[in-house]
Amino acid sequence: MQTGVESDTVLDIDDRVEQLQGSDYLSFELDGELYGVDIQTVEEIRVWSPPTLIPRSPAFILGVINLRGMIVPVMDLRIRFQASQVDYHRETVVLILRASEMANGKIMGVVVDAVSDVVDQGEGQIMPPLGDSQVIAYVSGLLNVGERVMSLVNVDELLRIERWI
């Protein structure tokens, strides 16, 4: 689906890794894997409540919610990243993320399995992402967190609506 973007992602990967140095990350679980987003992009964390459907939207766009008077779309990252299991219960959370002004500054809710900790990059080295998968286009680097590997998600790329509409 996003094949056209990948080459370009690989090209400037060094720059992106550079930008990521020294940030704090909010980590979250998705289908047993650990992901992280730059904490600066997180507006707030909300509990799940069913959104209003948008006709003819992609399957991973669940609809829109009212965020203090703003109409904000909600996407299910598990559907988007093709996780094996997607269900909504009381612990399901929605991360409200904001793209940078340089991208389009849009705000979007992102449903994930569960939020874990805030991870300080510290001495850890960010490594470029490896391999080829559906998700790789949105990942700008990997970071070792204890025994696990965290994929750092690029929020600007993730929220680029024109890619899938």
Partner 1 sequence: MAMDMDQLRRIFYEECRENLEVLERGLLALDLGAANFESMNTIFRAAHSIKGGAATFNLDDISHFTHVMETLLDEAREGNRQLDRQTIDILLRGVDCILAMLEAYENDAEYDKSEPDAVNAALNAIMDSDDSASSSSNDLSSAPLSTDLAPQEPAGSDIEKWAICFVPDPAMLFSGNDPVRILRELHALPGGAEVRCDPTHLPNFAQLDPEKLYLRWDIQVDGHVPRDEIEAIFEWVEDECDLTITPIHRSVPSDMDAASTAAEAPATEPQTPENASSSEPPPAVKKANKPAVKSDASVSSIRVDIDKVDNLINLVGELVITQSMLAELSSDFSPERLEQLQSGLEQLMLNTKELQESVLNIRMLPISFAFNRFPRLIRDLSLQLGKRVELVIEGENTELDKTVLERISDPLVHLVRNAVDHGLETPAVRMEKGKPETGMVHLNAYHQGGSIVIEVSDDGSGLDKERVWRKALDKGLISDDIPLCELTDSHVFNLVFSPGFSTVEQVSDVSGRGVGMDVVRRNIEQLGGNIDVHSTVDQGCSFKISLPLTLAILDGQLVKIAEEVYVVPLISIIESLQVDSRQIKTASGVQLYRLREENIPILRLKEEFGLGSTDDDLDKQLLCLVEAGDKKVGLLLDELLGQQQVVIKSLESNYARVPGISGATILGDGSVSLILDIQGLITQFLARVSDASGHIAAA
Contacts to partner 1 by CB under 8 A: 51-57, 63-66, 69-73, 106-108, 161-162, 165
* In the complex, least distance from residue 88 CB atom to partner 1, rounded to whole angstroms: 16
User: 49 or 133, CB closer to partner 1?
Assistant: 49
Strands 33-38 and 148-153: parallel
- Whether the Cβ atoms of residue 97 and residue 155 lie closer than 8 Å to each other: yes
* In the complex, least distance from residue 68 CB atom to partner 1, rounded to whole angstroms: 10
Separation CA 115–CA 64 (nearest Å): 21
* In the complex, least distance from residue 77 CB atom to partner 1, rounded to whole angstroms: 16
User: 96 or 126, CB closer to partner 1?
Assistant: 96
With the C-alpha atoms ordered 103, 109, 112, 118, is the resulting torsion angle positive or negative?
A: positive
Separation CA 139–CA 102 (nearest Å): 18
User: 63 or 145, CB closer to partner 1?
Assistant: 63
